[in-house]
C-alpha cells in the first residue's frame, strides 16, 4: 500500500507533501507549485462534489473539471481516471483512520472495556467525519482494481498491526494464550470495517453509542477477557 501511495504522489506532483507543508516555495520550482495547485483544486472539487452527492459513482470527470475550473487535458495530466482521483482524495482519510486505530495497537497489558470504549468512540468519530469518502472507497473497490488494491492494503496493514498487538499482549499475560493472533486479527479487522459501513454509518448518536459499547465488549471478550476460574 505504501508503494501505491508513493506512486500516486509521484504522478500527482507530491500532492501529500504539498498539502502537509513538507514542500515550500524554496524547495519547489514554479512548475511544481503550479502542478500542486492544480491537483489541490481538483481534489478540493472532488471532495466538495462528494459532500453534495449520494455516491462517488454519481460524480463525473466533467463535473470535477467544471467545479475546479480546469480543462479536461489538465485533469488527465495528473489522473488516469476517477478511480485514481479517489485514491488520492482518500490519502488523508486513510491517515486519520490509522491514527485513531493506533491508540488501540499501542495499548499495554491490562486492557479494559472502558479503554476500548474510549478508543472506539474516537475511531467512530473519525469514521463519521469522513463516512462518505470511506464508503466511496469501499464501494468503488468492488469494480476498480486500483482502489481495491489500496483499500485492501489498508485493511491488511490493520490486520498485521493488530496481530502484532495480540502477540505482545499474550507475551505480557494481557491476552488469552489460546487466541490465534493472525486469524483473530483478520476476523476483527474485517468485522470492524463492515460494521462501520453497515451499522455505524446510518446510526443515530444513541445507536452509535450502543454499537461502540457492543464492539468494545466483543473485542475484549475475544482477546483480553481472563479465562473463568
CATH number (domain holding residue 180): 1.10.357.10
Looking at residue 13, its pLDDT comes to 43
Sign of CA dihedral 99, 100, 102, 106: positive
On whether the CB atoms of residues 116 and 216 are closer than 8 A, the answer is: yes
Q: CA nearest 93: which of 22, 167, 196?
A: 196
Q: Mark whether 183 and 115 lie in a shared domain.
A: yes
Cα 211 to Cα 220: distance, rounded to the nearest angstrom: 14
Which of 44, 67, 82 delimits the end of a domain?
82
- Mutual angle of helices 82-105 and 113-129, in 10-degree steps: 160
Identify the pLDDT of residue 185. Answer: 97
pLDDT score of 27:
59
pLDDT of residue 153: 86
Domain boundary among 48, 82, 116: 82
Asked if 93 and 25 sit in the same domain, the reply is no
Give, as one character, the DSSP assignment of residue 227.
P
* Residues 183 and 167 grouped into a single domain: yes
23, 51, 82 - which closes a domain: 82
What local confidence, expressed as pLDDT, does residue 28 receive?
72
pLDDT at residue 93, as a whole number: 82
Nearest CA-CA partner of 34 in 9, 7, 13, 63: 13
Q: Are residues 56 and 107 in the same domain?
A: no
Residues 215 and 209: their CA atoms lie apart, in Å, by: 10
Residue 114 lies in domain: 83-224
Across the chain, which has 229 residues, the per-10-residue mean pLDDT values are 40 44 60 89 94 92 97 96 92 82 89 96 94 92 92 90 96 95 97 95 96 98 85
- Give the chain's domain count: 2
Within this chain, do residues 60 and 118 fall inside the same structural domain, yes or no? no
196 and 148 in one domain? yes
User: Does 229 map to a domain?
Assistant: no
Burial group, residue 120, by CB count within 10 angstroms (0-12, 13-18, 19+): buried
Q: Do 132 and 55 contact (CB within 8 A), yes or no?
A: no
Model pLDDT, residue 26: 56
Amino acid at each position: 500500500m505504501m508503494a501505491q501511495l508513493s506512486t500516486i504522489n509521484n504522478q500527482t506532483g507530491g500532492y501529500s507533501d504539498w498539502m502537509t507543508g513538507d514542500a515550500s516555495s524554496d524547495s519547489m520550482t514554479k512548475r511544481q507549485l503550479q502542478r500542486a495547485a492544480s491537483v489541490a483544486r481538483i481534489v478540493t472539487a472532488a471532495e466538495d462534489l462528494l459532500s453534495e452527492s449520494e455516491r462517488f459513482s454519481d460524480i463525473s470527470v466533467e463535473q470535477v473539471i467544471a467545479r475546479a475550473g480546469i480543462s479536461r487535458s489538465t485533469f488527465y495530466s495528473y489522473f488516469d481516471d476517477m478511480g485514481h482521483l479517489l485514491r488520492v482524495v482518500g490519502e488523508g482519510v486513510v491517515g486519520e483512520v490509522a491514527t485513531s486505530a493506533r491508540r488501540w495497537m499501542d495499548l499495554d497489558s491490562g486492557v479494559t472495556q472502558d479503554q476500548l470504549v474510549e478508543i472506539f468512540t474516537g475511531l467512530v468519530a473519525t469514521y463519521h467525519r469522513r463516512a462518505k469518502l470511506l464508503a466511496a472507497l469501499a464501494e468503488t473497490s468492488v469494480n476498480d482494481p486500483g482502489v481495491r488494491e489500496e483499500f485492501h492494503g489498508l485493511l491488511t496493514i490493520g490486520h498485521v498491526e493488530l496481530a502484532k498487538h495480540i502477540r505482545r499482549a499474550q507475551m505480557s499475560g494481557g491476552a488469552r494464550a489460546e487466541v490465534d493472533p493472525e486469524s483473530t486479527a483478520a476476523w476483527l479487522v474485517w468485522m470492524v470495517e463492515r460494521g462501520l459501513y453497515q451499522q455505524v454509518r446510518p446510526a443515530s448518536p444513541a445507536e452509535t453509542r450502543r454499537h461502540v459499547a457492543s464492539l468494545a465488549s466483543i473485542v475484549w471478550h475475544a482477546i483480553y477477557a481472563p479465562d473463568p476460574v
